Structure 1
Amino acid sequence: MANILSFFVWILILKTCYSLWFPEENGIVINNSSCSLSAVPKYLPSHTQILDLSQNNITEIHIQDFASLHWLKSLNLSSNKISNLSSDFFRSNQELECLDLSKNELSSIECHFLHNVTSLKYLDISYNNFLSLTLGKAFSFLKDLEYLGLGSRKAIKLQKNDLKEISGKQLQEISIGLKTLSEYDPGSLQVLRTTKLHIVLPSTNKADLLERVMDDAFNTSDTLKLSNIECYQECSHYINSFKILGKFSRVSKLLLQNLALDWKDLISISKPIWTSTVKSLSFFNVTLYKMINSPFQCSETTLKALTIRQLKITLFYFSSTIIYNFFATLMIENLTISNSELLFMTCPIKGNNYKFMDFSDNSLSSDFLFQDCQSLNLLETLILQQNKLDRLFKVSTMTRSMKSLKNLDVSQNQLTLDENRDCLWTNSLIKLNLSSNRLTDLVFTCLPSSLAILDLQKNDIYSVPKELNNLDMLKELYLGANKLVNLPDCSNFRNLQILFVEANSFHEPSSSFLQSCQRLTVLNAASNPFICTCHLRDFSRMKENSHIEMIGWPESYQCAYPDNLKGTLLKHFHLSEVTCSTTLILVIVLGNMIVLIIVIGLMCHFLDLPWYLRMTWQWAQMKRRAMKTDSHQVAEKLVYHAFVSYSQHDSCWVKEQLLPNLEERGSPLRICLHERHFIPGKGIIENIINCIEKSYKSIFVLSPNFIQSDWCHYELYFAQHQVLSDRSDNLMLIVLESIPQYLIPSKYYKLKSLMAKKTYIEWPKDKNKQRLFWANLQAAIGIKLTAPTEETFV
């Protein structure tokens, strides 16, 4: 019994000290429980705030052990072998609020060390070796005390003035272990002022001692907890003690813990409670070793709630109808039977007052539980969590006659749904918990339309069908820990305000989700494997662009794919509008193309770009042909770089422009002109042929004047003849002035053919273009020739 009490005491420690365990980010928790320590560890961190040294073999502690722990707030030294604490202890621990010294070997309850820790809120010194429970004056200085645990392993007496040092304090809870009590002065407990009183009853058959203790207990606190009711043979002294509980006691909430008795004695103890002021009765850890039917007349009572947890029946065979009939005839509002291996429950008699039933953590089956039960018309809440329910349609038919049922919890069962089964729910159901079952997408075909809250977490749901029962009343939907591949469409739940879809399998939530969920205010979509692409942009901006509260944002929303973004918070995931908008990309591309076309058009118009391009192309072609020509072989029989044929009327341009740019600038070229190089005495045609043969190129300056000269026609004829005979490309045409085709006489048919087939160079009037013109011309005739001798000219 002591171990069980210790367990509940430590649970209370955790509850009381919860707000102290993590008071600030740099707080340190040290857990050295059950480490076989014989002394307090040295060099503990000075910022330690929670220190657990329980269940060790520590016999002595010294002042210096905790002297450096100025921030210590919770210290657990329970279950050690500490026998003495001097008054100087905890002088450096002014912040200490929770101290557990239970189950040690302290002999003095004076506790002078308490003078140094007046800020204590929780103090447990139970199960030590105190010879009495006479509290020292140090207890009167604990102005903030909320919980106090007292008790001794030794036989003790409790006298009237033992607890006077705390008589003026309003505490939340006082726990007094009186298991070894030998004498008791009436009124000793009534000096206490506490909201909750827990008494471990004496292990004695003295009825008068029990009666005095329980008489005071019933008139001390509103909430009373009594432990250690064990009567394997004789239980009359406990039964008689409970008879003291009358209509004028203070107790409104009674908790009976650690009971071992038979069914008849349990009923006998319960009877006086029925006629008392108690409104809530709870049994914890009840062991029944004998089942003897005992009549129980349900009279009028103020009792509203009955709770039974951890009911164990040690008999192998017994009549279960004894228990079922008892609960079927109760006229109370709230009934809880949990963790008791309950297999069945009888339909209560008509006229019952049940509004709340909790049968969680049992072995109930859906085949027989409350089927065709017509008497639960007032029932509002039914909890069947963690049983053996397996068929959802059976659960639905169970509720048909429960006209007031609003809340049904059938979570943590094995529920499934057959495809061909119809569900018949009560029309009053508002909240339905179907979490932690084996339900699939079919469940949406078996739901009552009256639901406002639906919990389907931890099932096998892959999607929410678009066609389902009318759920316009639904405001809260919980679908976490399923296998959803996309967010549900809220068009099926027009009034949905809260949606939980965390820990599912969707990657890219639908872009239409926000549009369909106009009334959504809370969304939990955390811990899903998000693929961070353009499709996720709208969802990642939901927190910024909507009024929806995102649970777990931003730390639980991370990219899972692609690998280069894995672990990136959706809050920090951004893609540009250009990257994700096909329309915008097309607009930009087409816009750039239009701008480029306009720019090219303007350049063509104002800068004569086609001319530059054509000239550049010609220059490149000339360079290519020059590289392919065997310059050494060609240069052996040549004297001039070029022979120029022109009309006498164009001689000014030849002498002022052509010759200076070819003979005097860059790499000087040798130009052959008829005026300078025709040999006197020879015929004109012979001179023409001689000059053309000794020149690398033959340049013809074309203009309207050119076509009027017969000699120019001869020169062109012989030059073209050489092209055909040598298969070379030494003919060049320079158009000084444009010559329309219709102006060229018919006898110049060869010139027409050449201008149609051969690329010619136009003389630009714009001076800015003339440099490129001369560069092209020099590149076309730029060949190295040997120095001429006098014989070469002959």
Structure 2
Amino acid sequence: MKKSAIISKVFCLSLLLTFLFLPSSFGNVCTGSQLHINPSLVTQLDLRQCNIRNLQESDFKLYTNLQRVDLSHNLLEEIDFSVFKFNTILEHLDISHNRLHIINCSSLQFIKDIKQLNMPYNNFETMDLCKEFGYLTKLEHLGLSSKRIERNDFANIALHELKSVFLALEELQEYEPGSLRLLNTEKIHIILPKIIHISIFLLYDAFKSTITLEISQIQCIPCPVGQMAFITKNSNISTLILSNFTMPWSAMSRFLEGFWKSSVKRLFIYGYTVIGDFEYEPIDVSKGSIESLHIENVMSLVFEFYEHPLPIFSEMFVGNLTLSNADLTYFVCPKLPSIFQFLNFANNGITDGIFQQCRSLLVLQYLNLHNNRLERLLSLSSMTSTMDSLLHLDVSFNSLYYDHNVRCEWSESLVFLNLSRNKLTDSVFKCLPNNVEILDLSRNQIKSISKDIKLLRALKEIYLALNQLSNIPDCRHISKNLRVLNIDNNVIFSPSGDFFQSCRNVKTVSAINNKFVCNCEMRAFVSAIQAFKGEMLGWPSSYNCELPEEFRGIILNDFHLSEVSCNVYLLIGIVVGSVLIVVFSIVFTCKYFDVPWYLRMIFQWLRGKYRVRQVNVAEIHKSKHFHAFVSYSQKDSDWVRNFLMPNLEKDDSSIRICLHERDFIPGKAIVENIICCIEKSFKSIFVLSPNFLQSEWCHYELYFAQHSLFGKNSDNLILILLEPIPQYLIPDKYSRLKALMKERTYMEWPMEKAKQGLFWANLRGAIQIDLPVPEGELFEEETELHNHRESDGHNL
């Protein structure tokens, strides 16, 4: 063995030991695409193109669970199947595209459970299958190739009931007629040899050896058209597949005519290249065995023709006809009532003119016009109006639109309509068949569901994926028969939870990959889904928040907002309740501890302190001798003597009070004394009570104090409310007192002893100021004024 071959084999097998793969993945070991796993877990090995020249038992010994091995496209020249003796469950072995010319037949016993053995494209001179092939009792699929085929080559597998046999016979040079008849198989796939007369004998035997025959790579110029009757005579074929072949249309038409009168029921043609001619030639396709004709991927190399051969297909008496990817731009309406039940014209260039006013498709049930050039939905509906049996219509992947108000006439029998991948908008709901049960409008430009959908009385399934819907349709306008709703990949932001209430009959809903906004409305939608008794496809993994940004990517089922943040009434109730509780607490606290009184006292104290600072001290030293002049009723004199005076006039003489009974100058008029005392006092204190209202002199004193020169620029009045005085008890002549009590803050005498300390502190603070000490007493005795006021029952 050459050194390079040894190195190549070592390299490939070293990769085999390093890169392995699971059953779900099938890559190439030589490219290093496998995973590192335990060899006993490996079920498949891909050893293609590894330049392997020989195999050894140790190569596969560790892979006890190996089921599939691909050794194709290597350099094997001989093979001994004993290398697989430890792979007892091996089912699939591909050794095609090697250089094999020898098989160790005695070693076939080591792969006795093989189901698929693929050996074509090697260097076998003959297809002689030795008797040991009889051991392969489970064999189902067999692939072979050789240069000669003799009658007894398949004798040793004649008893095997195979499912398929693949014969790559491009290089076949000799064939003994009758050899293929020994094969017992459901399907034979033959790649025909280049020698035409050998192909004829092969086909003759193949048509009698199986029920399904596939013939590939037919290139005949000229073709043995005259031999078709000989080939198909007394054939057993029911399914015939022609793939990858090239011939003139004239030959093809004759082949079709020959197949039409054979046992073939299903004819499939894939990859037909037209050469030479492409003209219409009448053939008899009115009666025959063919029930289904499928032609796909037609390419014409003929660009000039007098009459297109297309009419021949409309003349065929066949139930199912497929012309896919055949470059059709139209199809001829059959002249006579047709037996077409299935027509598939997908992937062509058909336009709106097809089947207009065509009244011969009376039994047509399935029509597929996928991926064509249809544009007008109105023309499409008119086309179907004459098809009395049409059940299924696929016009997806076209350019359909509807912008009319004209009533659309559809076939009344239509129950399935696929309008996906078109240019339809909301107006499409004005032009839909009333009896449709399954409607596909995916990949259009629909933004909302028109109320015209209520005309679809029989609708059971509707597909609206990949549109521009911003909300879930309201089932109140949709048929009660609706069972399936698909609205995947739209722009639905805030779906309403009421949907599930209005769509109680729906069994399956899919709203995957929408742009959900996670807000309070979403809570109701999620709750409705959780209570939904039907099937919510993709829930919950495929339903995520898109907005706001902080919730993006969160699964709707995991999104939560508090009840308070979403229930306005509850929020208002909590706020109002909290405010009421706070207010009630404050009121109760103030009432219980009499806080307002303390606040007023503090305010008055601060106010007095502020005003004292504003007084010109120099002026006070010149004109003021008393801190306060006290005006009160004689009936309140006990309170003045027992409470007021002791708490204001201390032993330190820091505060001097002016009392009429002590400080009036005898001999002066009463009014003059009042004015003099007020002017020489820094403040005037008025002790208010109901008794105060009964004294005329108190009123005069109040008047003079308010209009004193000092009072023009400063607040020199201090009102002490000894007892409550309701406003209605104040006589009208005391309007000035009423005004003062409304405009000025007065001090209330507290009955509780705990409050009286603050009361006196505030009062002292209001009148506290540094005054010059008088040189002598201003008033030395009581005058007759005192006696006069005593007689009046009032003390100034």
What interval of TM-score do these two structures reach, taking the shorter chain for normalisation? 0.7 to 0.9
Change (3 A) 1:747 1:290: closer
Q: Deviations over 1:683-706 (max 9, x none)?
A: 796887676555433322223444
Confirm whether residue 237 of structure 1 aligns to residue 201 of structure 2: yes
The residue correspondences of 1:270-281 to structure 2 (distance < 5 A) are 279-281=265-267
Matched position secondary structure for 2:119: strand
How much does 1:226 deviate? 3.7
Confirm whether residue 454 of structure 1 aligns to residue 419 of structure 2: no
Which of 91, 99, 106 is 2:69 aligned to?
99
Which of 535, 543, 561 is 1:557 aligned to?
543
Q: Retained in 2: the 8 A contact 1:229–1:258?
A: no
Q: Distance in 2 between matches of 1:67 and 1:240?
A: 51
Instruction: State the one-letter code of the partner of 1:309.
Output: E
Confirm whether residue 483 of structure 1 aligns to residue 468 of structure 2: yes
Q: Distance in 1 between matches of 2:534 and 2:76?
A: 58
Q: Distance in 2 between matches of 1:577 and 1:742?
A: 54
Which of 44, 47, 69 is 1:77 aligned to?
47
Instruction: State the one-letter code of the partner of 2:449.
Output: V
Matched position secondary structure for 2:708: helix
Confirm whether residue 360 of structure 1 aligns to residue 346 of structure 2: yes
Which of 424, 429, 432 is 2:414 aligned to?
429
Q: Retained in 2: the 8 A contact 1:167–1:191?
A: no
Confirm whether residue 700 of structure 1 aligns to residue 669 of structure 2: no
Q: Deviations over 1:398-427 (max 9, x none)?
A: 323322211111111222335265533211
How much does 1:616 deviate? 6.1
Q: Distance in 1 between matches of 2:13 and 2:625?
A: 117
Which of 121, 126, 136 is 1:157 aligned to?
126
Matched position secondary structure for 1:444: helix
Instruction: State the one-letter code of the partner of 1:785.
Output: D
Q: Retained in 1: the 8 A contact 2:507–2:534?
A: yes
Match of 1:200?
168
Q: Distance in 2 between matches of 1:582 and 1:523?
A: 31
Match of 2:185?
220
Q: Distance in 2 between matches of 1:79 and 1:162?
A: 31
Confirm whether residue 340 of structure 1 aligns to residue 320 of structure 2: no
Instruction: State the one-letter code of the partner of 2:312.
Output: N
Q: Retained in 1: the 8 A contact 2:170–2:194?
A: no
How much does 1:478 deviate? 1.4
Name which of structure 1's ranges 677-686 and 459-468 shifts more when overlaid on structure 2.
Answer: 677-686
Change (3 A) 1:740 1:239: closer
Match of 1:178?
145
Change (3 A) 1:693 1:676: same
Confirm whether residue 508 of structure 1 aligns to residue 494 of structure 2: yes
Matched position secondary structure for 1:241: helix
Instruction: State the one-letter code of the partner of 2:540.
Output: P
Q: Retained in 2: the 8 A contact 1:224–1:253?
A: no
Instruction: State the one-letter code of the partner of 2:302.
Output: L
Which of 373, 394, 405 is 1:388 aligned to?
373
Q: Distance in 1 between matches of 2:604 and 2:452?
A: 73
Which of 104, 118, 136 is 1:167 aligned to?
136
Q: Distance in 2 between matches of 1:70 and 1:641?
A: 113
Match of 1:402?
387
Matched position secondary structure for 1:75: strand
Q: Retained in 1: the 8 A contact 2:273–2:298?
A: yes
Match of 1:329?
316
Match of 1:371?
356
Match of 1:5?
none
Match of 2:532?
546
How much does 1:428 deviate? 0.8
Which of 19, 28, 49 is 1:53 aligned to?
28
Match of 2:788?
none
Which of 500, 504, 513 is 1:527 aligned to?
513
Confirm whether residue 190 of structure 1 aligns to residue 158 of structure 2: yes
Q: Retained in 1: the 8 A contact 2:170–2:191?
A: no
Q: Retained in 1: the 8 A contact 2:517–2:547?
A: yes
How much does 1:297 deviate? 5.8
Q: Distance in 2 between matches of 1:439 and 1:156?
A: 63
Q: Deviations over 1:365-422 (max 9, x none)?
A: 331x333433333322121212233333333233233222111111112223352655
Change (3 A) 1:309 1:583: same
How much does 1:734 deviate? 0.7
How much does 1:363 deviate? 2.8
Instruction: State the one-letter code of the partner of 1:168.
Output: T
How much does 1:606 deviate? 7.0
How much does 1:126 deviate? 1.6
How much does 1:78 deviate? 1.9
Q: Retained in 2: the 8 A contact 1:227–1:256?
A: no
How much does 1:731 deviate? 1.5
Which of 714, 717, 725 is 1:728 aligned to?
714
TM-score normalised to structure 1 length: 0.78
Q: Distance in 1 between matches of 2:410 and 2:433?
A: 6
Confirm whether residue 438 of structure 1 aligns to residue 423 of structure 2: yes
Name which of structure 1's ranges 292-301 and 453-462 shifts more when overlaid on structure 2.
Answer: 292-301
Q: Distance in 1 between matches of 2:648 and 2:239?
A: 122
Q: Distance in 2 between matches of 1:668 and 1:457?
A: 102
Change (3 A) 1:548 1:230: farther
The unaligned stretches of length 5 or more in structure 1 are 1-36
How much does 1:619 deviate? 5.3
Q: Retained in 2: the 8 A contact 1:232–1:261?
A: no
Q: Retained in 1: the 8 A contact 2:514–2:543?
A: yes
Instruction: State the one-letter code of the partner of 2:775.
Output: E
How much does 1:76 deviate? 2.5
Q: Retained in 2: the 8 A contact 1:476–1:496?
A: yes
Q: Distance in 2 between matches of 1:47 and 1:152?
A: 27
Q: Deviations over 1:744-763 (max 9, x none)?
A: 78997765664465432222
TM-score normalised to structure 2 length: 0.78
- Larger Rg computed on CA atoms: 2
Q: Retained in 2: the 8 A contact 1:455–1:478?
A: yes
Name which of structure 1's ranges 679-688 and 182-191 shifts more when overlaid on structure 2.
Answer: 679-688
How much does 1:152 deviate? 3.2
Which of 270, 278, 303 is 1:316 aligned to?
303
How much does 1:168 deviate? 1.8
How much does 1:433 deviate? 0.8
The unaligned stretches of length 5 or more in structure 2 are 1-10, 212-233, 779-796
Instruction: State the one-letter code of the partner of 2:158.
Output: Q
Which of 740, 762, 775 is 1:791 aligned to?
775
Q: Distance in 2 between matches of 1:127 and 1:53?
A: 16
How much does 1:259 deviate? 3.0
Q: Retained in 2: the 8 A contact 1:357–1:381?
A: yes
Match of 1:412?
397
Q: Retained in 1: the 8 A contact 2:154–2:182?
A: yes
